[in-house]
Amino acid sequence: DTPELYRPLTPEELGTRLSAVPVIAGRVGSDPSRWTVKEVGDGNLNLVFIVEGPQGAVVVKQALPYVRLVGDSWPLPLYRAYYENHALVRQAERDPGSVPEIYHFDKVQALIVMEYLSPHKILRRKLIDGEMVEGLGGFLGRFCARTAFRGSELSMKSADKKKDVGLFSGNVEIPAITEALVFTDPYYDAKMNHHTPDLDPVVAELRGNPKLKARAQRMFMKFASNTETMLHGDLHSGSIMSTETESKIIDPEFVQYGPMGFDIGMLVANFLMAYFSQPAHRDAAGLEPYQEWILTIIDEVFASFETEFRTLWENERTGMLYPAALFEDQGQPSGGICEDLLADIRTDALGFCGIEMHRRTLSLAHNADFEDIEDTQVRSRLEARNLAMGAELILRAGEFGSTASLLDLARQFN
Ligand code: ADP
Ligand code: MG
Ligand code: MG
Ligand code: MG
């Protein structure tokens, strides 16, 4: 029989089209007339359906051949689902339990069937709503450390790593979005940009600073040409789903090999944006404690990243880099060498962090933390703090050896 051509799913058709997939029938129930299907995609790119039946529920994520946020004037290859699936498989290996379980992948339909995370809620929404999540910083820091370390030649065999870099190098159009929207567009009057009008003078100042733009380009060069490890590539608070006590990471379609500091830098930027946006979302009594809680999360992210990375350094250095033959076997401990590497990763991370803070307020895809603020005067005042701190981080990324100094800077701009 002829394979079915790609067609986007609809809630009406999903039952008949997917009822023959054994893992779905097995998990949801074999009679699709008893399934209820809801499209819940709130991201910028893909369709996401929750399929519920008498036995249980699954999530079906399907790529669209264009950017959902913009429309079919901006085509985008379906192959991203293929890379997302490969990324999820590797993340599940490198940090077990950190991502939804994958039940089924269909390359032609560009769809992934996965575990339905419930009652999980998108972390960005929780941060806007002032909700706390136990263990969040530790989980995120460990995820970043384990994926960074285990996806690099600190751990992998050279041949395996090269093969994997080759595989993911086919994911071209998706990283191109990051290349434009994150690293380039904020710093000139790009066509799809938008920002809150009152920010004009601040924006002019940023774009008028060649040193800042040169730093951002230097970080861009690292992002584009360095293949240290497999990145999630889009690790913002909208790619994390949490309950009060458990978190999972979703949506790695922006996967590529890149610098170890990228994911953690993006992540911290999103906590800082949550922090700066809080005055618009909390009443006076709740504001300071919740803002301080966000800062403790940033502290925990870095602390657990570094602790976990040190542990992996001691126990899993099985790749070609920094072999024990050069150090421990010659009676020379390598703990200090690991610390130097961690310092470099932190510097990279804070550079990427500053750039992410800029692009979410100046480029195409903004975040709800600020975008939900209806009063544009309030919004621009808070966004200006975010932009100013972002600039400091880009210019002085290497000066925050302790997380405390980073958090103090945030308090100064608040
Ligand atoms: P996009 O690539 O379009 O951003 P996401 O993978 O981020 O798509 O998913 C979009 C939304 O769908 C998420 O914000 C979340 O609300 C929901 N979602 C995605 N995956 C799951 C899941 N496994 N369980 C429950 N909800 C999910
Ligand atoms: Mg998403
Ligand atoms: Mg996505
Ligand atoms: Mg150094």
The residues, any chain, with a CB within 8 Å of residue 159's CB and separated by 6 or more, are none
Q: How many other CB atoms are found less than 10 A from the CB of residue 98?
A: 18
The atom number, within ligand 1, closest to the CA of 68 reads 3
* Token representation of residue 342: 């961690």
Q: Residue type for 358, please?
A: H
Residue 355 CA to residue 399 CA, distance in Å, equals: 16
Residue 44: its pLDDT value, please? 80
pLDDT at 398: 98
The protein residue whose alpha carbon is closest to atom 18 in ligand 1 is 48
The pLDDT score that the predictor gives to residue 232 is 98
Report the nearest atom of ligand 1 relative to the CA of 239. Answer: 7
Q: What is the pLDDT of residue 1?
A: 56
**What pLDDT is stored for residue 43 in this prediction?**
74
Query: Could you tell me the distance, in angstroms and rounded to a whole number, from the CA of residue 340 to the centre of ligand 4?
Result: 5
Reported ipTM? 0.97
pTM, full prediction: 0.97
Rounded to a whole number, what is the largest CA-CA distance in the chain? 68
Residue 3: the pLDDT is: 62
Ligand nearest to the CA of 398: 4
DSSP 94-156: HSTTSSPPEEEEETTTTEEEEE---S-EEHHHHHHHT---TTHHHHHHHHHHHHHHHTSTTTS
**57-62 and 47-52 as β-strands: parallel, antiparallel, unpaired?**
antiparallel
Domain 11-115 = CATH 3.30.200.20: yes
Q: How far is the CA of 2 from the centre of ligand 2 (A)?
A: 33
Q: Which residue intervals of the chain bear CATH 3.90.1200.10? A: 121-413
What pLDDT is recorded for position 2?
Answer: 60
> Could you tell me the distance, in angstroms and rounded to a whole number, from the CA of residue 117 to the centre of ligand 3?
16
Q: What does the alpha-carbon distance between residue 413 and residue 391 come to, in Å, rounded to a whole number?
A: 12
Which tens digit of pLDDT belongs to each residue from 203-256?
A: 999 999 999 999 999 999 999 999 999 999 999 999 999 999 999 999 999 999
Residues of each domain in the chain carrying CATH 3.30.200.20: 11-115
The alpha carbon of 45 and the centre of ligand 3 are apart by a number of angstroms equal to 6
Distance between CA 216 and CA 353 in Å, rounded?
11
> Strand pairing of 240-242 and 247-249?
antiparallel
Mean pLDDT by 10 residues, the chain (414 residues): 82 94 94 96 89 97 91 91 98 98 97 98 98 98 99 97 97 94 98 97 98 98 97 98 98 97 98 98 97 98 98 97 97 98 98 98 97 98 98 98 98 98
Note whether 363 and 185 are within 8 A (CB). yes
Are 78 and 63 in contact, with CB atoms under 8 Å apart?
Answer: yes
Pocket of ligand 1 (CB under 6 A): 40-46, 48, 59, 61, 100, 114-117, 122, 238-239, 250-251, 253
What is the fold of 121-413?
A: Aminoglycoside 3'-phosphotransferase; Chain: A, domain 2 (3.90.1200)
